[in-house]
A and B are shown apart, each in its own frame.
Chain A
Amino acid sequence: MPLEFFLLLAAALFCIGIYGLVTSRNAVRVLMSVELLLNAVNLNLVSFSNYLDGANIRGQVFTVFVITVAAAEAAVGLAIILAIYRSRDTIDMEQFNLLKW
């Protein structure tokens, strides 16, 4: 199994994440798509570390950091969504277009 397969899988996961990020109407699903993006990145880091940096595995250390930060980001993101929900009574992304032109 060459490195490229892992990278292509990660890229596909990233694209699916982007698609979900841009098209979802539910704000929680947007956060979930962000998680998909971060996991695609993690996949990249792990496979690079495995194939190119087997001795020092610095990519895996990075991945640990990314997972940590992703958890924190999801917590803050959910808090923001709750804050919006309390004022506007909805988490539909299409209702959050007040800051236009």
Chain B
Amino acid sequence: MSQALESVQQASLSTVYWIPIYTLLSGMASVFWSPAGFRRTGPRPAGYINIVTAGVGFVHSLLALTAIWGEPAQEISVNWLTVSDLQLILPLEYSSQTIGAISTITGLNILAQLYAVGYLEMDWGWARFYASISLFEAGMCALALFNSLFFSYVILEILTLGTYLLVGIWFNQSLVVTGARDAFLTKRVGDLILLMAVVALWPLAGTWHYGDLATWADQASVAPLTLTLLGLALMSGPLGKCAQFPLHLWLDEAMEGPLPASILRNAVVVGTGAWVLIKVQPVLALSPVASAAVVWVGATTAVGATLVAIAQIDLKRALSYSVSAYMGLVFIAVGTGHTDTALLLMFTYAVSMALLVMSTGTIIWSNITQDVTQMGGVWARRPISGLAFLVGAAGLVGLPPLGGFWALLRLLTDLWTDHPLLVGVVLLVNALTTLSLARLFGLVFMGQPHAMMARSPEVLWPMVVPMTVLSGVVLHVPMILNQASALPDWAMLEKPFVLLLLWSCLLGGGIGGVLYIGKLTPRPIRLFWPQLQKAFANDLYTAEIYRGTIILAVNQVSRLVNWFDRIFVDGAVNGVGLATLFGGQTLKYNNTGAGQFYLLSIVIGVTLLILALAYPLLS
């Protein structure tokens, strides 16, 4: 019996690369149920087949995970293309890390897709939704497997296109169209700068394989300026993907897309950039400037985005800024060289954030509004959603004994010796995030119900089941981490950090609770400095800054080029035609119609010809 199980495990390990393939195939199959394709029976089977394949993928990856657990990483490679002396090899890495990532992706994907069955009940566009989300699943699984910077870049670009399609599902809404546009362009800019780094790395290292890059980085002797520029370009791809300052506006606008997609995006998709950043960390570490830039970007985003999150009144946007903030913490971990901590943080963050988005989604589904100032008082009637929100919040921030606590504790321990200042940043972000989540909880679940929330039924089972299952997962994260031996030894526990984290949580949560659950302050709460409150509420006027700088410059330059093209380039060609036309129109007056004039021109012509012929003789 155990022998049979073992052979199944081995077989699933050797076929792990099937997972992206069959999620992709099921995504393609769902197109058959698009309204134009299947007019009679509606779109629901598109969702069902994608959930089944996501489930198969999840089981497959779990079996493969048990096979590779504790074993050394394996690698197989496929020759993608050989052109003269360039050989594009596609290496696949089977390690507990990559297959663990695939399990997380497929697992969260099943839950998000099942959630979408409930959430998109009244929607006709299942085919496009499930096709796009399966494209995402396939892309992310492939990203986890591919062990080459070049192919990671390929996947990142496909995912950028996927984001455009997924945010733009309901394209008859004008804000969706602008949001999808911004999401595509912002991420595209980062990806293109990443492409510069990818191309520049080839002559230096001669390889795109992550393992070989790390080996090369060990004894690389390259000019520091080259390495700095390379590191900065490598950073900017993930910077756009992870919605870090200053390329963060797209995530805010991407909240216009369907909520089940936001579950996946907030939890996992923004992590794709961080995954690449973690993989190229050895190259980043070559340049102190690039590493410092990663840390600075991360720290700025973490603090800035949490402050912006606190000032939001849109439930989805308040969470999306926390996404940027937590990705900022991942950037800090990578910038200081602690990639394992970054992976741990990404895992604990992904499950908690997915749970938070699911929980808030159930509120939005049955109460229509997303404005937190129009919510309140549903704790007694919506206990499951409320508990799920609390569990997600506790799992996200550093509240022991849940996952976020262990990840942040490890981050603090890592940072303490070399970067004591960053410890303060992490504690501040933790406190502010706790405050932000306590504010959301207070506004949504506590207090008096607003008219919009007067009747708020709990939602259907397809949304409740994934939410409760994920709550269970979040509660079990410490045990999963224990199994992966990612928890520190009890005796080695750094007690000051535990207390600091606990205190920062209690402080943030306490302030949030007093302000938003207590009845001491008037609503809506005004900050002592209204302009600052307005600035944070407007995301520090990022949209205006974009419009005033990059967009303005590109716009003016394109107008100028267009004008130059129309006037000078077109004008030159048209000028030739016009000159010919003018020549014809004016030279025709040579045909005077007077025979004597023709005779005169003959005589003049003959005379000139004779003179020309006789000129050598005369001189």
Verify A97–B599 contact, CB threshold 8 A: no
Verify A22–B591 contact, CB threshold 8 A: no
Verify B603–A97 contact, CB threshold 8 A: no
Q: List the A side residues contacting B589 at CB < 8 Å.
A: 101
Verify A97–B592 contact, CB threshold 8 A: yes
Asked if A1 lies at the interface with its beta carbon under 8 angstroms from chain B, I say no
Asked if A40 lies at the interface with its beta carbon under 8 angstroms from chain B, I say no
Given A101-B588, A101-B589, decide whether A96 and B594 contact each other with a Cβ distance below 8 A. Answer: yes
A94 to B592, CA, bound (A): 10
Given A18-B603, A22-B600, decide whether A101 and B595 contact each other with a Cβ distance below 8 A. Answer: no
Asked if B70 lies at the interface with its beta carbon under 8 angstroms from chain A, I say no
A40 to B532, CA, bound (A): 107
Verify B596–A21 contact, CB threshold 8 A: yes
A24 to B595, CA, bound (A): 11
Instruction: Give the interface residue-count category, chain B.
Output: 10 to 19
Verify A23–B596 contact, CB threshold 8 A: yes
Interface size for A (C-beta < 8 A) is 14
Q: List the A side residues contacting B593 at CB < 8 Å.
A: 96-101
Cβ distance A23 to chain B, nearest Cβ, rounded Å: 7
A99 to B589, CA, bound (A): 11
Verify A94–B594 contact, CB threshold 8 A: yes
Verify B596–A100 contact, CB threshold 8 A: no
Interface residues of B in 578-601 (CB under 8 A from A): 588-589, 591-597, 599-600
Interface residues of A in 27-62 (CB under 8 A from B): 30
Interface residues of B in 399-417 (CB under 8 A from A): none
A18 to B594, CA, bound (A): 15
A94 to B597, CA, bound (A): 10
A91 to B227, CA, bound (A): 95
Verify A101–B599 contact, CB threshold 8 A: no
Interface centre among B591, B594, B599, B603 (most CB of A within 10 A): B594
Given A18-B603, A22-B603, decide whether A93 and B588 contact each other with a Cβ distance below 8 A. Answer: no
Cβ distance A83 to chain B, nearest Cβ, rounded Å: 15
Residues 64-101 of chain A, each 1 if its beta carbon lies under 8 Å from chain B, else 0: 00000000000000000000000000000110111111
Given A101-B588, A101-B591, decide whether A93 and B603 contact each other with a Cβ distance below 8 A. Answer: no
Q: List the A side residues contacting B597 at CB < 8 Å.
A: 22
Q: List the B side residues contacting A21 at CB < 8 Å.
A: 596, 599
Cβ distance A62 to chain B, nearest Cβ, rounded Å: 21
Q: List the A side residues contacting B591 at CB < 8 Å.
A: 99-101
Verify B599–A22 contact, CB threshold 8 A: yes
A1 to B253, CA, bound (A): 110
Given A100-B591, A101-B591, decide whether A30 and B603 contact each other with a Cβ distance below 8 A. Answer: no
A101 to B592, CA, bound (A): 7
Residues 3-38 of chain A, each 1 if its beta carbon lies under 8 Å from chain B, else 0: 000000000000000100111100000100000000
A44 to B16, CA, bound (A): 110
Cβ distance B444 to chain A, nearest Cβ, rounded Å: 86
A30 to B598, CA, bound (A): 14
Cβ distance A1 to chain B, nearest Cβ, rounded Å: 25
Given A18-B603, A22-B599, decide whether A97 and B594 contact each other with a Cβ distance below 8 A. Answer: yes
The 9 closest A-B pairs by CB, nearest first: A100-B593, A97-B593, A101-B588, A22-B600, A97-B594, A99-B593, A101-B591, A22-B596, A100-B591
A→B interface (CB under 8 Å): 18, 21-24, 30, 93-94, 96-101
B→A interface (CB under 8 Å): 588-589, 591-597, 599-600, 603
**Could you list 25 examples of A-B contacts with CB < 8 Å?**
A21-B596, A22-B596, A22-B597, A22-B599, A22-B600, A22-B603, A30-B596, A93-B594, A93-B595, A93-B596, A94-B594, A96-B594, A96-B595, A97-B592, A97-B594, A98-B593, A99-B591, A100-B591, A100-B592, A100-B593, A100-B594, A101-B588, A101-B589, A101-B591, A101-B593
Give 13 A-B pairs besides A23-B596, A100-B594, A101-B589 with Cβ atoms closer than 8 angstroms. Answer: A18-B603, A21-B596, A21-B599, A22-B597, A30-B596, A93-B594, A93-B595, A96-B594, A97-B594, A98-B593, A100-B592, A100-B593, A101-B588
